[in-house]
Amino acid sequence: MGFAITITSFLKALGQIGDARFRRVLLIGVGLTFLLLVGTYAAFLMFLNWIGAAETIQEVIGDVAWLTDLITWTSFFVMIVLSVVLMVPVASTITSMFLDEVAQAVEDRHYPNMPKVAPIPFSDALRDTLSFLGLLLVVNLLALIVYLFFPQFALLIFWAINGFLLGREYFQLAAMRRIGRVRAKALRKKHAGTIWLAGTLMAVPLSIPLVNLLVPIIGAATFTHLFHQLLRRSAPYG
């Protein structure tokens, strides 16, 4: 049953990928990420100028006319490389703060008779998102040690770990909109295997460039469907 409803939920989510609200959340996430990275580069460049990096190096190696330009261009390329590395996690983090809109778009289309719910306060969404990002980074850093011992299974371990974390986060997001944080946690524990399976399905695209930017949106939509299916099998709304 778990596999069937997971695939069904995923396919329904894919079928709505062209929804205007889905695109809006994606553009907000990527746009804010780009602005953040540009702002970070500008701040980094100002910091280098403020500490007099070029002057300090010149004191050590002597006067080199092109040194200031070299440091400027070097810092630019460093930030470009960091942007490529950081684009996905940062974009996913920012996008996650707006996933309530994705869940509502899914319910408006597929569950139109559901009563409206109050949007999750931005402060709560920000707190949950930052908490999830911290957990995601810490666990994946620790997983690097495991990868060293079992390199042949590194990809499978990556999918399993991140599948568990993504499932936990996105199901909680979808469920607590309707039944509150406490009941959402209980329902998540009851269907832990199915939720982990669905999370793993979301984790696989994380290793595909550009496609991984869609993971938060597809994940939120998939788990909104999954929540409704699991709740129907567990108990009526109350």
Q: Say how many domains are in the chain.
A: 1
The whole-number mean pLDDT for each consecutive block of 10 residues of the chain, a chain of 238 residues, reads: 85 90 82 70 65 51 48 56 53 68 90 82 73 77 84 88 87 88 90 93 78 82 93 64
pLDDT for the residue numbered 25: 84
Domain span at 200: 2-234
Q: Which two tokens stand for residue 155?
A: 């990809």
- Whether the model clears a pTM of 0.85, i.e. scores above it, the answer is no
Long-range contacts of 7-11 (CB under 8 A, 24+ apart): 8/225, 8/229, 9/198, 9/222, 9/223, 9/225, 9/226, 9/229, 10/198, 10/201, 10/218, 10/222
pLDDT for the residue numbered 172: 87
Report the b/e string of 130-140 with b at 16+ CB within 10 A: eebbeebeeee
pLDDT for the residue numbered 55: 52
pLDDT for the residue numbered 88: 53
- Give the sign of the dihedral formed by CA 68, CA 72, CA 73, CA 77: positive
CB 5, CB 191: distance < 8 Å: no
pLDDT for the residue numbered 195: 94
